[in-house]
Structure 1
Amino acid sequence: MLSRRSVLAASAALVAGKVGAAENRLRFGVIADPQYAEAPPHPTLGRYYANSLDKMRAAVAALNGEDLRFVVTLGDVIDRDVASYERILPIYRTLRHQTRFVLGNHDFDVAPEHRGRVPRLLGMEGPYYDFAVTGTRFIVLDGNDVSLFAPPPDDPRRTLAAERLERAKAEGLVNAKPWNGSLGDAQFAWLERSLQTARAAGERVVVLSHYPVAPGNPHNLWDAGRITTLLARQPHVIAYFSGHNHAGNYAERDGIHYVTFHGMVDTPASSAFAIVEIANNRLEIQGFGREPSRSLTLKPA
């Protein structure tokens, strides 16, 4: 027969277990490619630029009703013109959650004199950075680092970008497109150090990027191969989230879930965003609109 002390001890353990589970549970919102502009639609591409304001208002209303640690946008907040930021960013400011941004290619489709201001306009501490929440480190990449559009015209990264693009074309890569980009060597070295720091701290890692790296796709970074090779050696990396390919995509490699989220800008009325939950050995994605829901098993920590 159970004693009162045994019952109390069991109840305390149950409560402690529930509290521990709650502490290990991490929920956050994900938006990809609002790509707002006050411009007529481009039905051939499936782009309804101006409609993204109403879609963002609806997404904010839904996300504000949830208990989230932050909301991240995986690039292309705007489609063009620096004035577009003045229309869409006030909607972001109505989020009650911390807001994080990743830089996309269209975020730099502004006049050359404004390109250097883009990270500051988005309140970013730098074009690439990392942050930790509840035992998970989020590593934010800047795939525009070596590209034909983001660096200043006289920056040597432009020359390097042209060389990398020509090399990708010569190799027949499907992602040899001028609207993609790659990581500079300094950023790649920083990525390696950040992964090492997270592993030493016992943290899981989720990489956030505008550009996918897997599976093979015309929208992938030019240097996708060296990134996936690096990540494959990291047992603590659990996921890589990206946008850019508005149709969405998914692959699992080396126990890492590569999820490409659907673009919000596509279609006249249906939206796309998600809530992600990481808890114990599960990664749950609750999709809204055109974003599918996924239930993914995580490799052991």
Structure 2
Amino acid sequence: MLSRRTVLAGSAALLAGPARAESPPLRFGVIADPQYADAPPNLAMGRYYANSLDKLAAAIEVLNAEDLRFVVTLGDVIDRDFASYERILPLYRKLRHETRFVLGNHDFEVDAAHLGQAVGRLGMPGPYYDFAVQGVRFVVLDGNDVSLFAPPQGDPRWQLAQERLAAAKAAGLPNAKPWNGSLGAAQMAWLERVLAAAQGAGERVVVLNHYPVLPDNPHNLWDSNALVARLARSPQVVAYFNGHNHAGNYGEAHGIHFVNFCGMVDTPDTSAFAVVDITGDRLDIRGYGREPSRALPLRAA
């Protein structure tokens, strides 16, 4: 059984900036890829599925001791089987904070009868949605929208996914993998409206998705370049948070910080999660376990 002490042992201290009295920080928790399953570990991939229950329980104990506005999980709550939600979601209900979810590819590793039920099971308002906290608009994207696993066969998005993957393979792209996905036209149109509204309201924007888009990586969205280009045109976008690549990653472009959080499911007993502070012109990430801490300057909205 993992303890709070075990989880804390691998943490790095928060990189603190100068005190600012004008407003309290916006503080929230981040978890990526618990990927729970009642299954033996995959030693070749370093995935310890069943151990995520103890890791998540220990992380929740730490997060409950913090003054947070919410805790978001960046996809892959489960690894497989719809019944896996029955074991892991009761742990989330022990959080004293508002809980937000993002859909990951493994959340669709279920039988056909349950394929469209992840949104409801996780209590999400929709596969993609947005919410505002303390002047920051959080935009939750669904990178599974056009994929080989989320839409049922025969759905136009499933056919489009076949075409997009074939085109990516023909172009020799490193992310031309069947476990990735992309955004559909309706979601992109919705994103345009949300970004325009955030700019009109003077809100900063943090984008949350399961899939990375930058730096180049085999785990990136198929349409990562198009999405980065669109976000770059909105000066209020300051950060993009994701999971999926369990090793973690970081990149910066157009004044936007692209932070890939490490997967909780990896390793037998070392966890990975974070507490994020947004204060004035700073974004501070206090990492626990395998998650590194970062101090990142924010551009003006």
Matched residue SS, 1:50: coil
Matched residue SS, 2:116: helix
Post-superposition CA distance 1:140-171 (Å, at most 9, x none): 00000000000112211111000000000011
5 Å matches for 1:280-295?
Answer: 280-295=280-295
CA distance in 1, matches of 2:78, 2:33: 8
**Deviation of the 1:43 alpha carbon:** 1.0
In percent, how many aligned pairs have the same letter? 70
Q: Which residue of 2 aligns with 1:204?
A: 204
CA distance in 2, matches of 1:208, 1:46: 25
Q: Which residue of 1 aligns with 2:222?
A: 222
| One-letter amino acid matched to 2:151 | P
Q: Which residue of 1 aligns with 2:52?
A: 52
Instruction: Give the number of equivalent residue pairs.
Output: 282
| One-letter amino acid matched to 2:93 | R
5 Å matches for 1:171-186?
Answer: 171-186=171-186
5 Å matches for 1:233-248?
Answer: 233-248=233-248
Q: Which residue of 2 aligns with 1:5?
A: none
Calculate the TM-score normalised by the size of structure 1. 0.93
Matched residue SS, 1:138: strand
| One-letter amino acid matched to 2:141 | L
Post-superposition CA distance 1:2-60 (Å, at most 9, x none): xxxxxxxxxxxxxxx83x322xx200000000000000000110100000000000000
Matched residue SS, 1:205: strand
CA distance in 2, matches of 1:257, 1:203: 17
Relative contact order, higher structure (CA 8 A, sep 6+): 2
| One-letter amino acid matched to 1:214 | L
| One-letter amino acid matched to 2:164 | R
Q: Which residue of 2 aligns with 1:69?
A: 69
Post-superposition CA distance 1:198-228 (Å, at most 9, x none): 0000000000000000000000000001100
Q: Which residue of 2 aligns with 1:103?
A: 103
CA distance in 2, matches of 1:189, 1:142: 13
**Deviation of the 1:86 alpha carbon:** 0.2
The structure number with the bigger radius of gyration is 1
Unmatched tracts of structure 2, length 5 or more = 1-19
| One-letter amino acid matched to 2:23 | A
Post-superposition CA distance 1:253-294 (Å, at most 9, x none): 010000000000000000000000000000000000000000
CA distance in 2, matches of 1:51, 1:289: 14
Q: Which residue of 1 aligns with 2:81?
A: 81
CA distance in 2, matches of 1:190, 1:214: 22
Of Structure 1 and Structure 2, which has the larger fraction of its residues in helix?
1
| One-letter amino acid matched to 1:21 | S
In the alignment, is residue 114 of structure 1 matched against residue 114 of structure 2?
Answer: yes
In the alignment, is residue 130 of structure 1 matched against residue 136 of structure 2?
Answer: no
| One-letter amino acid matched to 2:91 | I
User: RMSD over aligned Cα, in angstroms?
Assistant: 0.7
CA distance in 1, matches of 2:100, 2:115: 19
CA distance in 2, matches of 1:151, 1:234: 30
Post-superposition CA distance 1:121-150 (Å, at most 9, x none): 000010000000000000000000000000
CA distance in 2, matches of 1:146, 1:21: 40
CA distance in 2, matches of 1:274, 1:66: 11
**Deviation of the 1:238 alpha carbon:** 0.3
CA distance in 1, matches of 2:142, 2:166: 21
Calculate the TM-score normalised by the size of structure 2. 0.93
Unmatched tracts of structure 1, length 5 or more = 1-16
Q: Which residue of 2 aligns with 1:9?
A: none
Q: Which residue of 2 aligns with 1:33?
A: 33
Q: Which residue of 2 aligns with 1:278?
A: 278
CA distance in 1, matches of 2:30, 2:37: 20
CA distance in 2, matches of 1:160, 1:113: 22
Q: Which residue of 2 aligns with 1:21?
A: 23
Structure 1's consecutive aligned runs of 4 or more residues displaced over 3 angstroms after TM superposition are: none
Matched residue SS, 1:176: coil
Matched residue SS, 2:190: helix
CA distance in 2, matches of 1:234, 1:146: 24
Matched residue SS, 1:67: coil
CA distance in 2, matches of 1:174, 1:116: 29
